[in-house]
Amino acid sequence: MDLRQMQEQCEEQALSPYARFSGKSKGRQRAEEPCSVRTEFQRDRDRITHSKAFRRLKHKTQVFIAPEGDHYRTRLTHTLEVSQIARTVARALRLNEDLTEAIALGHDLGHTPFGHSGEEALNTVYHGGFKHNVQSLRVVEVLERAGGLNLTWEVRDGILNHTGAGQPATLEGQIVRIADRIAYINHDIDDAVRGGIIEIADIPQDCLTILGHNHSQRIGNMVQDMIKASWNQPVVAMGTKVRQAMDMLREYLFKRVYINSAAKKEEEKAKAILKQLFDFAVNNPLEIFGPQDEWTDDLERMACDYIAGMTDRYAIAQYKKFYIPHGWEK
């Protein structure tokens, strides 16, 4: 018996009956020989971690556009915080930690430069509309490695449904969906306080009384509530009291941080950059995509992929290259 089979047996003995077992995955889009060491979900986690799209997250906006400070979150550090929270919950509930981690690490691979403002810009200019969760799925199914990472169905389902109207089919995916919100609400408070956008004293006291008065307390209380509410249940959820306080805190952040705050004052400029880069790519395809026989899709779809894959600084550099006059060098 190889190590993978031993791990699969351990899962069936130790995990909750509500867990998704590695040996019973719905499989991949293209059949592959199993690994002798790693389970299927461990392989998915590793493929995501080693992908170019994952590495680019370190230079993509979370809230503060192209931040100069060393301590502000980026899309990568957000992803790691989601993974940490989600793994803690999965382990406590005896669900599949490897599947949970893979979904968490892959959930934002399709996010644009400049955060949600970039997402809004592409949604405006691309005829098919743009949602970062759908783009994340496209990254792992099509774009990465020029043919996709060939991930398991469960990981792809969790990535697609981590936000929006859909509900993940696995409890592991449901964990990531809630952990994503826990992570960004708490670290965005931390960053907004650091940036002088808000003060802790401004936050509704009812929320702090329920959730906690500092970063660690709030995450700890949300996680413990999630575990308590989901224990031996066929669905992952939060208790009503804590969920309502979290929703109130999220609403506060939208009013004070996410919309019309000093942190967002460059947002319209960022949107304009991406819209103009999109137009440039569509109108100058040979310069961007090379000869027509190398094109992989229609021009707008390729332009959307091209823009979505950029980091903040690469988008700014490309804008300067295409739209800002260069000094005469000879």
Mean pLDDT of 289-307: 96
Residue 53 CB: number of other CB atoms within 10 A?
A: 22
The model's confidence at residue 326, banded by pLDDT at 50, 70 and 90, is confident
Tokens 């990465």 belong to residue = 144
pLDDT over 70 (residue 281): yes
Query: Tens digits of per-residue pLDDT, 194-222?
Result: 999 999 999 999 999 999 999 999 999 99
Locate 281 and state its tokens: 């790519």
Does residue 236 surpass a pLDDT of 90?
Answer: yes
Selection from 213, 52, 82 nearest residue 144 by Cα: 52
Between residues 168 and 326, the one the model is more confident about: 168
297 dihedral zone (left: phi>0; alpha: psi -120 to 50; beta)? beta
- 143-156 average pLDDT score: 96
Q: Say yes or no to pLDDT of 159 above 90.
A: yes
pLDDT higher than 70, residue 76: yes
For 124-143, the pLDDT digits (tens) are 999 999 999 999 999 999 99
pLDDT tens across 53-73, in order?
Answer: 999 999 999 988 877 778 999
pTM given for the model: 0.96
Identity of the residue numbered 324? I
How confident is residue 330, by pLDDT bands cut at 50, 70 and 90? confident
Between CA 327 and CA 151 the distance in angstroms is 47
pLDDT of residue 68: 75
**What pLDDT does 1 receive?**
67
Q: What is the mean pLDDT of residues 287-298?
A: 95
State the average pLDDT over residues 266-292. Answer: 96
Average of per-residue pLDDT across 35-62: 97
Share of the chain above pLDDT 90, in %: 92
